[in-house]
């Protein structure tokens, strides 16, 4: 039995000329996983765009319509940091479908990984920080609506606080939001997660992993979720241009092993998204994103024998 993975063929669609946001990293991640035999083609599932009413479980109809029809005003586009285009609309909606599918696969297989996702800065009526629709929140609401889960734990280890996710679930006892992030990084105005762990600039591997170990096992045993949604952003890496923490490749891999082993050893299914990662040189960035899938493959083989 192989680890189920979700692949986004639409991520090769180009953005408007001159835009530097590295969409090609998603296709390069797929290619790397295949080339280095981390995964086989038959492990991959291709998502579809979800019904608009599923997106509107989290986002206002006015915002969804304006974005999908390309009528979002210039100020709102600047806040997102990405210009509207038909290709990006399709990519965005497919990404949401990918996280929903990853969550469904995790429930049936115990563990599943998306090769995209983690748009945790999106709020109900606006996008921010390269995030348009909040895939983590939408997947949670869809699975709850389908009566597949009741309680969801969102573990957000992107270097930036998951402010949109925290805001969306701020009064919801069925969803626990845990964000461990650099304290002096974007967003400037933080929201209140159920548990925020702000980290000092320059924190290195051992201190980071020790901090994580202080919280995650207790959260699982106290909240007892039906599903864990894990945002595995690699922007805590020392080479990330938007990070400010100092994890190494080894530290990132150890983090993934720690999160996935802690959850699966206790019987909690985990759906993973790759989260943020920013670099001018895509090759090492894509490798860092692949560490999630390398760790997941090892953990899956161990616990699904």
> What are the pLDDT tens digits along the chain (305 aa)?
689 999 865 443 344 444 444 457 888 999 999 999 999 999 999 999 999 999 999 999 999 999 999 999 999 999 999 888 888 898 899 999 999 999 999 999 999 999 999 999 999 999 999 999 999 999 999 999 999 999 999 999 999 999 999 999 999 999 999 999 999 999 999 999 999 999 999 999 999 999 999 999 999 999 999 999 999 999 999 999 999 999 999 999 999 999 999 999 999 999 999 999 999 899 999 999 999 999 999 999 999 76
pTM of the model: 0.94
Rounded CA separation 124/168 (Å): 7
| Element containing residue 10 per DSSP (H, E) | none
- Where do the domains of the chain lie? 5-303
273: phi then psi, degrees, rounded to nearest 5: -125, 155
Burial class (CB in 10 A: 0-12, 13-18, 19+), 16: exposed
Q: Does domain 5-303 fall into CATH 1.10.287.80?
A: no
The sign of the dihedral angle between the CA atoms of 29, 34, 39, 45 is positive
Closest CA to 202 of 238, 228, 166, 177: 238
Rounded CA separation 55/51 (Å): 7
């Amino acid at each position: 039995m192989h680890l189920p993975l979700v692949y986004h063929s639409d991520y090769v669609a180009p953005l408007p000329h001159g835009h530097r946001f590295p969409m090609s990293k998603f296709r390069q991640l797929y290619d790397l996983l295949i080339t280095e035999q981390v995964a086989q083609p038959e492990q991959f599932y291709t998502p579809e765009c979800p019904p608009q009413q599923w997106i509107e479980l989290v986002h206002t109809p006015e915002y969804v319509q304006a974005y999908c029809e390309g009528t979002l005003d210039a100020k709102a586009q600047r806040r997102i940091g990405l210009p509207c285009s038909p290709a990006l609309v399709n990519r965005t909606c497919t990404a949401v479908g990918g996280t929903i599918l990853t969550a469904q696969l995790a429930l049936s297989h115990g563990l599943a990984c998306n090769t995209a996702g983690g748009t945790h800065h999106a709020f109900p009526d606006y996008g921010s920080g390269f995030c348009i629709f909040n895939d983590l929140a939408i997947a949670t609401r869809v699975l709850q609506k389908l009566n597949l889960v009741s309680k969801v734990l969102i573990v957000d280890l992107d270097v930036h606080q998951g402010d949109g996710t925290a805001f969306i679930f701020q009064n919801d006892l069925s969803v626990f939001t845990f964000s461990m992030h650099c304290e002096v990084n974007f967003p400037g105005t933080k929201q209140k997660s159920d548990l925020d762990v702000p980290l000092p600039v320059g924190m290195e591997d051992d201190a980071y992993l020790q901090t994580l170990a202080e919280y995650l096992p207790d959260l699982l045993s106290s909240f007892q979720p039906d599903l864990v949604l894990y945002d595995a952003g690699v922007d805590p890496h020392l080479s990330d241009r938007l990070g400010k923490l100092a994890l190494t490749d080894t530290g990132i891999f150890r983090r993934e092993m720690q999160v996935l082993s802690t959850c699966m050893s206790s019987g909690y299914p985990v759906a993973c998204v790759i989260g943020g990662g920013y670099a001018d040189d895509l090759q090492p960035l894509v490798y860092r994103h692949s560490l999630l899938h390398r760790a997941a493959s090892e953990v899956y083989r161990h616990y699904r024998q």
